[in-house]
Structure 1
Amino acid sequence: MTALTALLATAALTASSAVQAPEPSLATSSPTGPMELPDEWMTAQRMSDGSTDLSAAKYAKARGEANQLAARTRSVYRPLGERDWTFFGPSDIGGRVVDIAVDPQVDGQVFIAAASGGVWRSADAGATFSPAWPDTWGQAMGAVAMTSDGVLFAGTGEAQPGGGSITFGGDGVYRSTDRGGSWQRVGLEDSHAIGRLAIDRTDEDRIFAAASGNLFVPGGQRGVYLTEDGGDSWRQVLAPPNDTTGATEVVIDPSNPDRVYAAMWDHLREPNQRTYGGPGSSLWRSDDGGDTWQRMTNGLPTDADQGRWGIAVAAEDPQRLYAYVGTALGPFRAFFRSDDGGDSWTQTPVTAGQASQSTFSWWFGKLFVDPADADHVFLTGVNLMRSTNGAQSFAPVGGVHADQHVLRWDPKVPGRVYLGNDGGVYRSEANGAGGWVKATYEPYTQFYTVDVAQTDPSLKVGGAQDNGCNRGYNGVGGPWDAIGCGDGLQTLIHPENPNIVFGCSQYGSCYRSENAGGSPRRSIGAGQTTSQRRNWLTPLQFDPSDPNVMYYAGNIVNRSTDNGRTWTAISPDLTGGGPNDPSGYPWGTITTIAAAPTDGDTLYVGTDDGKLWWTDDLGRSWNEVDAAQLPGTWVTRVAVHPADAKIAYATFSGFRSGSDRAHVMMTRDGGRTWSDIGQGLPDAPVNSVVPTSDGLLLVGTDVGVFLSGWNGGEWATLGADLPQAAIMYLRYHEPSRQLTAATFGRGVHDITVPTCPAASTKLPLRDPGVGVVGALSSCRASA
């Protein structure tokens, strides 16, 4: 027996011994999940400064700075700060829903937790939803639960680490005594993510919280916490085995509130690797209301190759337990059943195919048992998996979107079940066996990009997390139509013909459609273009000086002169090279490309390893910007001034991390020298930049949209009512002055940008002393 196995064995469930947790020496000493592809794109951007901290505290600080800037804008530039954003849509797509609470008193009333979109209320049995959470607060959610007399609790921060997307942290548990009308924070501020809330139905002041902890930083509030005064105070009742382990599940035996079960998960995300399993992953039981706990190991694995656990208890027969676990690297490992309350466990013959976990079991981690039938079990996975024989086998349930997260039965309506997944909310009146009906109004979609038809700004396309490429051609608030893709990434509308639409999935698998996203389609990507590596969001852009010219870039820039039908490589590898091992981070791909509107020979390119390049002879020669001038972090966007090819802007992800690292930089000499013009912006990742022809500069960040003169220097908040979801992409429609923002969790929004007469292209654009304060001053006077 190894030392590790011996230590694990000391925590085995016995009748005579109760322990709080194994010793911290169980911490894993080597990575168990190196990332071989950049499939955590949003996370990788934000950690490209080498930071290991994407904590809720950092975002809270940045939001505080954004709030201060908004207050100053309302005071000094009131017409800017009080402008209204309009929700454009979509209303019918939905987005990732991670928890559901059924109102025990009000028929048909349901509350849901949208992963990065806040808490929502439905009064019509999940058909339509309205906000039940402030737009001005952080939108990351992990859990919701409601007492029998209608007190609603929300645990902030999502407990699932992201794939191509990101899961943002939260700042504790909140309580609402008026069903989401108002909220009060009641503790666990340093928990980062709450995986589950469990209410003792015999004493509803007793509530357990599964605190998952910070995905990026060890320590903090982790494990199982208990309040016995309705949330006013909390105490830790189950400590984690080490400082990278947190609780993801806590379940109360419905027949015996003294018996409580919990699942622990050992996980850490670092800049160049993920460790999504280890010796801390484990199942626990308390028989005295949470005072003491025993680790359950009789019949369960005790080695370190354990990923995320899921556990559920059958209400009809509380001695019946179900559990499943993945491996540390992500695939399904095994399914277990206990018929004696966890004293012993037996592995069932469930296969990896039946489990439908793919290679990312850490994305799901949930089990649900029919409260009226102990043999009727659901396992969340890519597909919704259902067993009617006590988990001896599972089969998929069709008719719903992929990637399942939560099921809840309505105790007032027999056979009614609600489902939350990456596509939103569904309801079944057939006890989950089928007949699923999707919500018709659920405006919490996570967008990566958006584009607007130059011919008509009411025509839009967008790429959404796990919801494909979509076309919003049906007006404000209207339904959007799916037009393909997996995760929807880059989307484009032809500048002169809105029927020509481009859509991209992961790693640059794109298409060209001459039928507004319909068939037939022409593929763009591997086989048509030249590159050894392609980013999760591969850039595809038009040349604004010629609508027949397009650019596509993996690690090499490709150019098309026939509107995407054929392609020619026009650059060498513009990155530092090397994917496919941790030392190759950040994988070496081009992330953004922009052509000058006034000079088709001038291009600017940015990469995931912090490089900037420029060419003024259409790629015959490429010039790398001196690295000493740059922050060295992921280049999120480059843009060229509409009136001068030698003026360009670059935005960067990451935080300043105590340094003077720039978020927005500008060149006035064609890329030779760059200066930081982002001073005064909140310290948060900047994702998009748009210079206007009349001298304004617009940026989209993780904490809002901001405006300055073309030369930077002084910044103001644009608009007062944009929800606090990350702004991933901005698209400006010059003729109408409409700015469109794609948010990650609250859909697509529009605002009209004010006219600022003093910010004119007649100014000496390359004079760094001109156009800073004057532009905003004239906005104040004329807006």
Structure 2
Amino acid sequence: MDIATRFLVAYLLVFIGSMQAAFAHTPHDDIHDVEISPNYSQDQTLFIITRGVLLKSQDSGQQWHKIVNGLNNKHSLTSVDISGEDANILYVSSRGDGVYKSEDGGTAWSKVNKGLKTLEIDFVEISDNAPNVIFAAGIEGGLYKTENGGETWRQVLAAPDAKITAISSLPENSNHLMAGDQMGRVFISNNDGEDWEQRLDIPNAGGITAIEFSPYFESDNTVFLGTEKLGIFKGEFQKGPKKIDPLVGISDGLPEQAIQSLMLHPEDDGGYMIFSSTSNSGVFISEDLGGNWENYSQGLSKDDQATKFNRPQFSNLEMANSLDTERKIYLAGYDGLFRTELPEQKWRQLDTLSSNIITGIALSPNYENDSTIAVATYVSGVYISHDAGTTWKNVSNGLEDLHKYIAPGNSIARMFNIGFSPDYVNDRHLFTVTRHGFWHSNNDAEKWRKSSLDLENLDPLHMVISPSYGSDGVLFAGNYKTGEIFKSSNMGVSFQPIGSINSGIKSFQISPNFSSDKTLYAGGGQTVFKSIDEGRSWVSVGDFEGNITSLAISTTDKMLIAGTTSGAFIWKDQGNSWLELNIDGVDAHAQISAVSISPSDGENQLIILSIHGKGLYKSEDRGDSFFPIADELIDANYQLSDFSPNFFNTGQPIVFSPAFTQDKKIYGYAGENVLKSQDGGNTWEVISLPEDSKKSNFKRFRFRLRFLSAFLQAQLDKIF
């Protein structure tokens, strides 16, 4: 093969590698943890944490459902663990809400924090031999223990003496435990974790990332330690002095030494395989106790954003207990969740986050007669229904944003909201906002056009539409991150910057009397701002303890409700003060996920709150009292809310029919599902959107890329 051909093969390999990175999994589902049911062979159940939320699958990872019932966390979840003795018992940890426990297989949850000195918990670990004994490791250090299933906790290692990064029970004796910290030190306890002694220090190793014991520990006393910087060590645990000696490194054959996870699998011949995941290079196997390592990464993919956000490309490995000969292994990755089946040597990526996750929903102002609904999805574009949600059509022609996102078969930019013109019955105008700007359609969404508002910083946008749009052509956009306000006076064709609230906008509302009072409201940080000059200048009209999550304004008077991360507040008749909404049975500092006010007035006016982890609450007396409704929704883990704080939605998750006084209809969204009520919110119907065909084409294209990459790599190996 001549030099030119060799160069061409090498160039194509580099080019395809960059293409594969560009075509990373969409939506981007960075998996922080994966945990498998001990009864997997019967229930096919596993859990993952992605985007700071908990997902559950009961079909080996083919379909996923977000778990929300009782999880009222205001901070991201960090880990999940399942009891090896009782699959109904689970615990999750969080970055600021402590620990939650489930006793029904992960359907419903409750906080168990009594005795914890910190609510910032890095991970939880259930004892292998005692399901009521659990350890919780603090993010800033310290180790906590409960012996009664989370009812009370005690600190057994104080911060900042040690920030525990791994913990494991010795297989032959439940009283003995081993833990590692972020400085490469190993601690041993011989009394159920009550007292700890440092027994090993590995200089320059970084954190201890994994502790695994030989399947034949009772006879060979072998322990394996994974480290952050120096790879894998194998040692002999001496039971008398309770120390590990000798200790030898066994990872010279690995391309990198940043170990994320270790897993041991016994074989029929009495030996065992060692599986290791590394931060950036993938998975490797050794069948001779670390003497030699084989690359086991075929089919894995990476995402360049992992480096930007200081996240590993690959993290923990988990093997399912199975009765058949094929053993399923799952791997958490930054580009998604991967699965393989022994004896195969190829990974398959599983879809965990739907491309149809809904980010906005809107009803035609003439819904009573045309039954038209539109929804925006994260990366599947816009869907529209003209029969109240019975059938849907994807109407995304023109939304492709090829100069920002390079992807096959046209890529839909990330979408954040959707809206109808108030004069839709005559003009057929719709509007949507994406990560890259503002889009408008003047032909019932058959074709979309981009406005001049094009954001180079990829910031999400809010939008509000003048109630007199048919005559004034006015729309506003507000920047989710910077707080800038933009105005269009030509039906969304072009926008001009006009002002700023100097804080990221988390909710944006327009007065129903805008044509006369020129009033806008914006929620940013812990403040509600008001403008009476079309957004040019802003003043604070309310400051709160929690951050603003949602604003709602009455269409018939000037009642304004602010939902925050620490309760809900009401401002009636443009009064001088806000009143906190008291809700029986709900913590005063509960996080409000969504707020909506019906267009009706007087005794027919309703207020609906979606309270994080609690469900829906309704008021029929202008906020004086609330009562829970639709318990079956939260019981089935449907919450009318944005999917995650890490999804920068700007839509309203609860929308009343414009003719609500007559038809009592309300729509909302939860994950990838549209929810519909026809009785004022008391009962709901779940409506699914059709599967996105673009996603299937995208997956086929990525498979072809990987096949071509493997072929070219083989040719390159032959050359050299």
Do they superpose with TM above 0.5? Answer: yes
Counterpart selection for 1:313 from 190, 209, 212: 212
> 1:732 deviation in Å?
0.8
After superposition, the Cα gap between the structure-2 partners of 1:235 and 1:623, relative to the gap in structure 1 and judged at 3 Å, is closer
Partner Cα separation in structure 1 for residue 249 and residue 179 of structure 2: 18
- What does 1:648-687 align with in structure 2 at a 5 Å threshold? 648-655=559-566, 663-666=568-571, 668-669=573-574, 673-676=576-579, 678-680=581-583, 682=586, 683=588, 684-687=590-593
Counterpart selection for 1:502 from 419, 422, 432: 432
In structure 2, what residue type is equivalent to 1:590?
Answer: I
> 1:557 deviation in Å?
0.8
In structure 2, what residue type is equivalent to 1:539?
Answer: H
Partner Cα separation in structure 2 for residue 560 and residue 518 of structure 1: 22
Identify the residue that residue 593 of structure 1 maps to in structure 2. Answer: 508
Partner Cα separation in structure 2 for residue 479 and residue 249 of structure 1: 49
Counterpart of 1:722 in 2: which secondary structure?
helix
Preserved contact between residue 277 and residue 316 of structure 2 (Cα < 8 Å): no
Identify the residue that residue 145 of structure 1 maps to in structure 2. Answer: 82
Identify the residue that residue 608 of structure 2 maps to in structure 1. Answer: 698
Partner Cα separation in structure 1 for residue 394 and residue 114 of structure 2: 39
Identify the residue that residue 428 of structure 1 maps to in structure 2. Answer: 340
Counterpart of 2:581 in 1: which secondary structure?
coil
Preserved contact between residue 563 and residue 595 of structure 2 (Cα < 8 Å): no
Identify the residue that residue 463 of structure 2 maps to in structure 1. Answer: 540
Identify the residue that residue 123 of structure 2 maps to in structure 1. Answer: 195
Q: Is the counterpart of residue 293 in structure 1 residue 174 in structure 2?
A: no
Partner Cα separation in structure 2 for residue 450 and residue 481 of structure 1: 15
After superposition, the Cα gap between the structure-2 partners of 1:395 and 1:472, relative to the gap in structure 1 and judged at 3 Å, is farther
After superposition, the Cα gap between the structure-2 partners of 1:339 and 1:517, relative to the gap in structure 1 and judged at 3 Å, is farther
Identify the residue that residue 284 of structure 1 maps to in structure 2. Answer: 187
Q: What count of residue pairs does the alignment treat as equivalent?
A: 563
> 1:246 deviation in Å?
6.1
Preserved contact between residue 157 and residue 194 of structure 1 (Cα < 8 Å): yes
> 1:568 deviation in Å?
0.2
After superposition, the Cα gap between the structure-2 partners of 1:435 and 1:542, relative to the gap in structure 1 and judged at 3 Å, is farther
In structure 2, the gaps of 5 or more residues are 1-26, 237-243, 267-271, 304-312, 406-410, 643-651, 683-720
**CA displacement, residues 298-346 of structure 1 (integer Å, 9 cap, x when unaligned):** 33349xxx7x752142646874534344xxxxxxxx2432121565475
Identify the residue that residue 170 of structure 1 maps to in structure 2. Answer: 99
> 1:649 deviation in Å?
1.5
Partner Cα separation in structure 2 for residue 95 and residue 622 of structure 1: 40
**CA displacement, residues 247-290 of structure 1 (integer Å, 9 cap, x when unaligned):** 5532235577676332456xxxxxxxxxxxxx7x9543446764
Identify the residue that residue 376 of structure 2 maps to in structure 1. Answer: 461
Preserved contact between residue 156 and residue 194 of structure 1 (Cα < 8 Å): no
Identify the residue that residue 387 of structure 1 maps to in structure 2. Answer: 284
**CA displacement, residues 36-78 of structure 1 (integer Å, 9 cap, x when unaligned):** xxxxxxxxxxxxxxxxxxxxxxxxxxxxxxxxxxxxxxxxxxx
- What does 1:112-151 align with in structure 2 at a 5 Å threshold? 112=47, 120=56, 122=58, 124-128=59-63, 135=69, 142-147=79-84, 151=87
Query: Comparing both chains, which one has the higher relative contact order based on Cα–Cα distances under 8 Å and sequence gaps of 6 or more?
Result: 1
Preserved contact between residue 523 and residue 551 of structure 2 (Cα < 8 Å): no
Q: Is the counterpart of residue 339 in structure 1 residue 234 in structure 2?
A: yes
> 1:404 deviation in Å?
5.7
> 1:378 deviation in Å?
1.6
Preserved contact between residue 276 and residue 284 of structure 2 (Cα < 8 Å): yes
Partner Cα separation in structure 2 for residue 397 and residue 521 of structure 1: 41
> 1:479 deviation in Å?
13
Counterpart selection for 1:638 from 539, 543, 551: 551
After superposition, the Cα gap between the structure-2 partners of 1:210 and 1:648, relative to the gap in structure 1 and judged at 3 Å, is same
Partner Cα separation in structure 1 for residue 151 and residue 391 of structure 2: 42
Partner Cα separation in structure 2 for residue 448 and residue 233 of structure 1: 38
Preserved contact between residue 549 and residue 565 of structure 2 (Cα < 8 Å): no
In structure 2, what residue type is equivalent to 1:387?
Answer: F
Q: Is the counterpart of residue 614 in structure 1 residue 530 in structure 2?
A: yes
In angstroms, what is the RMSD of aligned CA positions?
A: 5.4
Preserved contact between residue 210 and residue 227 of structure 2 (Cα < 8 Å): yes
Q: Is the counterpart of residue 721 in structure 1 residue 632 in structure 2?
A: yes
**CA displacement, residues 157-178 of structure 1 (integer Å, 9 cap, x when unaligned):** 34xx4xxxxx75434x5556xx
Identify the residue that residue 416 of structure 2 maps to in structure 1. Answer: 490
Partner Cα separation in structure 1 for residue 316 and residue 216 of structure 2: 21
> 1:565 deviation in Å?
4.5
Partner Cα separation in structure 2 for residue 446 and residue 296 of structure 1: 51
Identify the residue that residue 103 of structure 1 maps to in structure 2. Answer: 38
Preserved contact between residue 257 and residue 289 of structure 1 (Cα < 8 Å): yes
Partner Cα separation in structure 2 for residue 563 and residue 187 of structure 1: 53
Preserved contact between residue 141 and residue 154 of structure 1 (Cα < 8 Å): no
Q: Is the counterpart of residue 367 in structure 1 residue 297 in structure 2?
A: no
Q: Is the counterpart of residue 574 in structure 1 residue 487 in structure 2?
A: no
Partner Cα separation in structure 2 for residue 636 and residue 182 of structure 1: 24
> 1:367 deviation in Å?
1.3
> 1:558 deviation in Å?
0.8
- What does 1:73-84 align with in structure 2 at a 5 Å threshold? none
Preserved contact between residue 194 and residue 210 of structure 1 (Cα < 8 Å): no
Preserved contact between residue 233 and residue 249 of structure 2 (Cα < 8 Å): yes
Identify the residue that residue 648 of structure 2 maps to in structure 1. Answer: none
Preserved contact between residue 527 and residue 548 of structure 2 (Cα < 8 Å): yes
> 1:451 deviation in Å?
2.0
Preserved contact between residue 249 and residue 262 of structure 1 (Cα < 8 Å): yes
Identify the residue that residue 212 of structure 1 maps to in structure 2. Answer: 137
Partner Cα separation in structure 2 for residue 321 and residue 186 of structure 1: 32
After superposition, the Cα gap between the structure-2 partners of 1:473 and 1:323, relative to the gap in structure 1 and judged at 3 Å, is farther
**CA displacement, residues 69-113 of structure 1 (integer Å, 9 cap, x when unaligned):** xxxxxxxxxxxxxxxxxxxxxxx9999673322435844633425
Partner Cα separation in structure 1 for residue 248 and residue 393 of structure 2: 48
Partner Cα separation in structure 2 for residue 289 and residue 522 of structure 1: 63
Partner Cα separation in structure 1 for residue 576 and residue 81 of structure 2: 51
> 1:559 deviation in Å?
1.4
What TM-score, normalized to structure 2? 0.61
Counterpart selection for 2:275 from 368, 376, 384: 376
Partner Cα separation in structure 2 for residue 638 and residue 232 of structure 1: 37
Counterpart of 1:427 in 2: which secondary structure?
strand
After superposition, the Cα gap between the structure-2 partners of 1:604 and 1:235, relative to the gap in structure 1 and judged at 3 Å, is closer
Instruction: Give the share of equivalent positions with the same residue, in percent.
Output: 10
Preserved contact between residue 335 and residue 350 of structure 1 (Cα < 8 Å): no
> 1:675 deviation in Å?
3.3
After superposition, the Cα gap between the structure-2 partners of 1:241 and 1:232, relative to the gap in structure 1 and judged at 3 Å, is closer
Identify the residue that residue 76 of structure 1 maps to in structure 2. Answer: none
Preserved contact between residue 231 and residue 251 of structure 2 (Cα < 8 Å): yes
Partner Cα separation in structure 2 for residue 716 and residue 460 of structure 1: 29
In structure 1, the gaps of 5 or more residues are 1-91, 162-166, 266-278, 326-333, 356-364, 576-587, 657-662, 757-783
Partner Cα separation in structure 1 for residue 462 and residue 161 of structure 2: 36
Preserved contact between residue 614 and residue 624 of structure 1 (Cα < 8 Å): yes
In structure 1, what residue type is equivalent to 2:212?
Answer: V
> 1:152 deviation in Å?
3.9
In structure 1, what residue type is equivalent to 2:521?
Answer: V
Counterpart of 1:721 in 2: which secondary structure?
helix
Partner Cα separation in structure 1 for residue 320 and residue 190 of structure 2: 28
Preserved contact between residue 187 and residue 199 of structure 2 (Cα < 8 Å): yes
Identify the residue that residue 166 of structure 2 maps to in structure 1. Answer: 249
Identify the residue that residue 732 of structure 1 maps to in structure 2. Answer: 655
Preserved contact between residue 611 and residue 625 of structure 1 (Cα < 8 Å): yes
Preserved contact between residue 502 and residue 511 of structure 1 (Cα < 8 Å): yes
Identify the residue that residue 604 of structure 1 maps to in structure 2. Answer: 520
